């Protein structure tokens, strides 16, 4: 997994630079090979110096895209948490629905019904 800042920097580059020949453009900006530029475009091998260099070369557009990428990361993180809570709530609602269909109104009733069914099973087996 790539560091978050590297992904943010790559996201900002992808937002600011035109898609055509993007790797070649990045290679020229950072004075590196096209292969290394492709690593940068996916968020790998970013350093603070490279981020500063990108900010100096690309200006306010890069800085704005970099900041926007940060808010996207936060949004994605919060959505992941929300989705986990949502899935948990759906499971609990489904359990309650099943209990109601079975005529069980509370957790205590669940324990009672289990005990009763075990007792019935034991009495049936001993007869």
Mean pLDDT, the chain, rounded, equals 79
DSSP structure string for 49-110: HHHHHHHHHHTHHHHHHHHHHHHHHHHHHHHHHHHHHHHHHHHHHHHHHHHHHTT--SHHHH
- For residue 35, name the pLDDT band (cuts at 50, 70, 90): very high
Q: Which structure tokens are listed for 73?
A: 């990361």
What's the pLDDT tens digit per position in 55-110?
A: 999 998 888 888 876 566 666 766 777 788 888 888 999 988 888 888 766 555 55
- Look at residue 28 in the predicted model and tell me its pLDDT: 94
Higher per-residue pLDDT: 105 or 19: 19
Which are the contacts of 30, defined by CB distance < 8 A and separation ≥ 6? Answer: 36, 37, 40, 50, 53, 54
Domain layout of the chain by residue ranges: 4-126
Mean pLDDT of 112-119: 57
């Amino acid at each position: 997994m790539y560091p978050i800042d590297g992904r943010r920097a790559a996201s900002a580059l992808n937002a600011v630079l035109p898609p055509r020949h993007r790797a070649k453009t990045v290679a020229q900006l950072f004075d590196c090979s096209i292969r290394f530029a492709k690593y940068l475009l996916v968020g790998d091998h970013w350093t603070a110096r490279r981020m500063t260099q990108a900010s100096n070369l690309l200006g306010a557009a890069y800085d704005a895209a970099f900041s926007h990428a940060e808010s996207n990361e936060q949004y994605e993180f919060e959505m992941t948490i929300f989705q986990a809570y949502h899935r948990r709530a759906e499971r609990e609602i489904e359990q309650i629905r099943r209990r109601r269909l079975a005529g069980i109104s509370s957790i205590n009733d669940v324990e009672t019904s289990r005990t009763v069914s075990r007792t019935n099973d034991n009495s049936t087996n001993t007869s």
